[in-house]
């Protein structure tokens, strides 16, 4: 059995394949592919009468556009290769969906569950101090966001730490995104990546040619789904698909095992059970399987890996039976596993596209912070007045009152969440159309992943050419 490439090696391998399609010259190829800067540093935090030393990394992959953007990950599995791989993916992701950011990633080797809220805040603020003094957190240089092990609360601590060091910076709150609403966050950011997965799948299932290639039919209704990971991404993606698109969730895979039920599992019920008990075991309306990863191999229409990287490798790729693999996590497939699935004729919606919802809405939040005004603030009341006049005109011409439910819809003003969801939906729709056009037009492009990388690399190359590089 061939050895699987690492996460970083897998990203580089897809880049090289896509660069070959574009006949990218060696110098430009190296400029786009290589990480611009990687820093590793350690720092101590005192707990009562003892010190603990923590290790963190920050990788800035590209500054072809500023600021650089990327998540901040707190995990014991964080290392330099992972941070570099995630930073590179973020560069390509932003270029693909036309978000004017470079790519970066920040990681701290820590298990946040080991610490109280107070101790985690101390660790976070100390880490932020190290990053800020190196300008790895700055509104116009590098802007982190929540990722695995971090949250909007962590982002609020970091923003406050930055503001205390830069009290005269008018744009201080834009040094991070994914903040609480009370700290100039934006509606819909917590759900953004999961919502983007939903919108991406809706777009895929609207093209008959594409779904036929996967052996499926148009529309999401009644499609069977297995989801791996009930974190922020997996939970929201599965919840929206189940409640709004009538997808039937037949399997849920977590770190402590899995649940299966052919009649369907309630995502909300499982999520609440896991929150109360700490795991999936004991949930009454499903069969518990201790070997959770084996459930990835069960038949289904859609498999969504929404946990961590390298979950499908040469060890299990040949046994994957899902008709469509939708990568909600970053790098869930090794390069070799991707090749095995491609040879089997499986259709894969790549992470570069499907995972982009978070950075799209982070961009909206950053714009909101830089402009110092909320979306919809100056338009909501105007929309309400226009809607009211429309209702009055309809009633005057028809001589009958407009039904209450319809009148409420017509007179509802556009709110921030409406702008955010509309902007994200349009981004996911437009980007998928571009990807499938590249796949259909360029004969050397073999799949959706290569098409997405080709689009991203072309956009970055164009930026460098326009700058005179």
Indicate if 398 and 440 belong to the same structural domain: no
Q: Would residue 344 show up in a list of annotated catalytic residues for this protein?
A: no
* Confidence at residue 463, expressed as pLDDT on a 0 to 100 scale: 95
The domain of 461 spans 1-34+434-469
Lowest mean pLDDT among 45-49, 91-95, 123-127, 353-357: 45-49
Structure tokens at 392: 């009055």
**Cα angle 454, 460, 461; round to 5:** 85
Token pair belonging to 38: 């990687």
For residue 369, pLDDT over 80 is answered with yes
Instruction: State whether residue 179 is helix, strand or coil.
Output: coil
Q: How far apart are CA 355 and CA 147, in angstroms?
A: 12
Strand 68-74's sheet: what is its strand order? 37-47, 50-60, 102-108, 68-74, 142-146
Kindly state whether residue 366 falls inside one of the protein's structural domains.
no
* 42 and 2 in a common domain: no
Is the model's pTM score more than 0.85?
Answer: yes
- From 185, 220, 242, give the residue that closes a domain: 185
457 and 401 both lie in a single domain = no
In a domain, 86, yes or no: yes
pLDDT exceeds 90 at position 122 = yes
Residues 167 and 109 in one domain: yes
Statement to judge: residues 135 and 250 lie in one domain: no
The residue whose two tokens read 């040469």 is: 314
Q: Give pLDDT tens digits for 228-238.
A: 999 999 999 99
Q: Are 272 and 227 in contact (CB under 8 A)?
A: no
The CATH number linked to 324 is: 3.40.50.720
Tell me if 112 is assigned to some domain. Answer: yes
Residues 56 and 178 in one domain: yes
Which pLDDT score is estimated for 276? 94
Residue 221 phi/psi, 5-degree rounding, is -55, 130
- Distance, in Å, from the CA atom of 138 to the CA atom of 133, rounded to the nearest integer, reads 10
pLDDT higher than threshold 90 for residue 384 = no
Strands 142-146 vs 68-74: parallel, antiparallel or unpaired: parallel
pLDDT reported for residue 46: 92
> In what side-by-side order are the strands of the sheet with 287-289?
287-289, 257-260, 248-254, 224-228, 302-305, 324-326, 347-349
The answer as to whether 8 is a domain residue is yes
Same domain, 131 and 252: no
Q: Are residues 209 and 152 in the same domain?
A: no
Do 203 and 347 share a domain, yes or no? yes
How many C-beta neighbours within 10 Å does residue 322 have?
25
Tell me the percentage of the chain whose pLDDT exceeds 70: 99
DSSP 366-389: HHHHHHTS-TTTTTHHHHHHHHHH
Question: What is the pLDDT confidence band of residue 387, given thresholds at 50, 70 and 90?
Answer: confident
pLDDT of 79 reads: 96
Q: Examine the domain organization and report whether 24 and 41 are in the same domain.
A: no
Residue 420, domain member (yes or no): no
Last residue of a domain, one of 119, 152, 185: 185
Domain boundary among 185, 218, 235: 185
Phi, psi for residue 165 in degrees, rounded to 5:
-90, -20
Averaged over 301-313, what is the pLDDT? Answer: 96
Query: Is 134 within the bounds of a domain?
Result: yes
157: CATH: 3.40.50.10860
Task: Tell me whether residue 115 is in a domain.
Answer: yes
Query: Are 25 and 43 members of one domain?
Result: no
Residues 6+ apart with CB under 8 A from 134: 39, 41, 58
Contact 195, 421 (CB under 8 A): yes
Whose CA is closest to 324, among 172, 448, 445, 463?
A: 448
CB 159 within 8 A of CB 128: no
In this prediction, residues 425-449 reach a mean pLDDT of 96
Residues 6+ apart with CB under 8 A from 219: 205
Residue environment code for 231-256, b if the CB has 16+ CB neighbours within 10 A, otherwise e: bbbbbbbbbbbbeebebbbbbbbbee
* Total domain count, the chain: 4
Give Cβ neighbours of residue 354 (< 8 Å, ≥ 6 apart). 196, 197, 200, 201, 326, 327, 328
Task: Please tell me the distance from the alpha carbon of residue 55 to that of residue 429, in angstroms, as a whole number.
Answer: 40
Torsion over CA: 357, 228, 303, 269 (sign)? negative
Q: What is the mean pLDDT of residues 290-307?
A: 96
Which of the residues 93, 105, 239, 368 is marked catalytic? Answer: 105
In Å, how far are 40, 70, 154, 270, 276 from 43, measured between CA atoms?
10, 22, 18, 39, 35
DSSP 453: H
Please tell me which residue, 396 or 301, carries the higher pLDDT value. Answer: 301
CA distance 54 to 106: 14
Q: How many CB atoms lie within 10 A of CB 46?
A: 10
Are 348 and 272 part of one and the same domain?
Answer: yes
CB neighbour class for 465 (10 Å; exposed up to 12, middle 13-18, buried from 19):
exposed
The CA-CA-CA angle for residues 237, 311, 425, to 5°, reads: 25
Q: Is the pLDDT of residue 1 over 80?
A: no
Question: Is the pLDDT score of 98 beyond 70?
Answer: yes
Note the pLDDT tens digit of each residue in 52-94.
999 999 999 999 999 999 999 999 999 999 999 999 999 999 9
Element (H, E) at 395: helix 380-398
Instruction: Report yes or no: 215 and 323 within 8 Å, Cβ to Cβ.
Output: yes
Alpha helices in 134-248 (DSSP H): 152-165, 192-204, 208-213, 232-245
- Is the pLDDT reported for residue 36 higher than 90? yes
CB-CB contact of 353 with 40 (8 Å): no
Residues near 143 by beta carbon (within 8 Å), at least 6 away in sequence: 67, 68, 69, 101, 137, 174, 175, 176, 177, 362, 366
Classify residue 75: in a domain, yes or no: yes
Model confidence at 383: pLDDT above 90: no
């Amino acid at each position: 059995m061939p050895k699987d490439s690492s996460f970083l090696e897998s990203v580089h391998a897809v880049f090289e394949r896509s660069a070959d399609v574009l006949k990218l010259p060696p110098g430009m190829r190296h400029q786009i592919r290589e990480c611009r800067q990687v820093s590793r540093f350690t720092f101590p935090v005192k707990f009562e009468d003892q010190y603990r030393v923590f290790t963190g990394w920050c990788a800035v992959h590209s500054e072809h556009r500023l600021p650089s953007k990327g998540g901040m990950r707190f995990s014991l599995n964080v290392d330099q290769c992972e941070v570099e791989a995630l930073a590179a993916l973020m560069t390509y992701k932003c270029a693909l969906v036309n978000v004017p950011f470079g790519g970066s990633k920040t990681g701290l080797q820590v298990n946040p569950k080991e610490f109280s809220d107070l101790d985690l805040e101390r660790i976070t603020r100390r880490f932020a101090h190290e990053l800020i003094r190196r300008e790895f957190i700055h509104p116009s240089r590098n802007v982190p966001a929540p990722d695995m092990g971090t949250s909007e609360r962590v982002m609020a601590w970091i923003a406050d730490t930055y503001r205390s060091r830069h009290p005269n910076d008018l744009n201080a709150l834009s040094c991070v995104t994914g903040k609480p609403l009370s700290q100039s966050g934006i509606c819909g950011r917590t759900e953004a990546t999961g919502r983007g997965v939903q919108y991406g799948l809706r777009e895929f299932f609207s093209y008959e040619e594409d779904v036929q290639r996967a052996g499926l039919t148009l529309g999401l209704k009644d499609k069977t789904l297995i989801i791996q990971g009930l974190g922020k991404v997996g939970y929201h993606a599965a919840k929206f698909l189940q409640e709004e698109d009538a997808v039937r969730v037949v399997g849920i895979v977590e770190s402590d095992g899995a649940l299966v039920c052919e009649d369907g599992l309630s995502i909300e019920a499982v999520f609440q059970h896991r929150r109360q008990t700490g795991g999936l075991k004991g949930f009454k309306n499903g069969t518990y399987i201790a070997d959770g990863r084996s459930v990835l191999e069960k038949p289904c229409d859609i498999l969504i890996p929404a946990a961590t990287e390298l979950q499908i490798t040469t060890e299990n790729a040949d046994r994957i039976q899902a008709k469509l693999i939708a990568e909600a996590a970053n790098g869930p497939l090794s390069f070799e596993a991707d090749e095995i699935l491609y040879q089997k004729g499986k259709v894969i919606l790549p992470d570069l596209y499907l995972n982009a919802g978070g950075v799209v809405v982070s961009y909206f939040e950053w714009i909101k912070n830089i402009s110092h005004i909320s979306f919809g603030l100056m338009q909501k009341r105007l929309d309400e007045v226009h809607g009211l006049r429309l209702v009055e005109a309809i009633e005057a011409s028809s001589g009958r009152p407009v039904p209450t439910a319809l009148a409420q819809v017509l007179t509802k003003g556009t709110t921030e969440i409406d702008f955010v969801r509309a902007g994200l939906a349009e981004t996911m729709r437009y980007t998928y159309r571009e990807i499938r056009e590249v796949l259909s037009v360029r004969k050397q492009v073999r799949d959706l992943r290569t098409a997405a990388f080709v689009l991203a690399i072309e956009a970055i190359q164009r930026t460098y050419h326009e700058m005179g590089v």
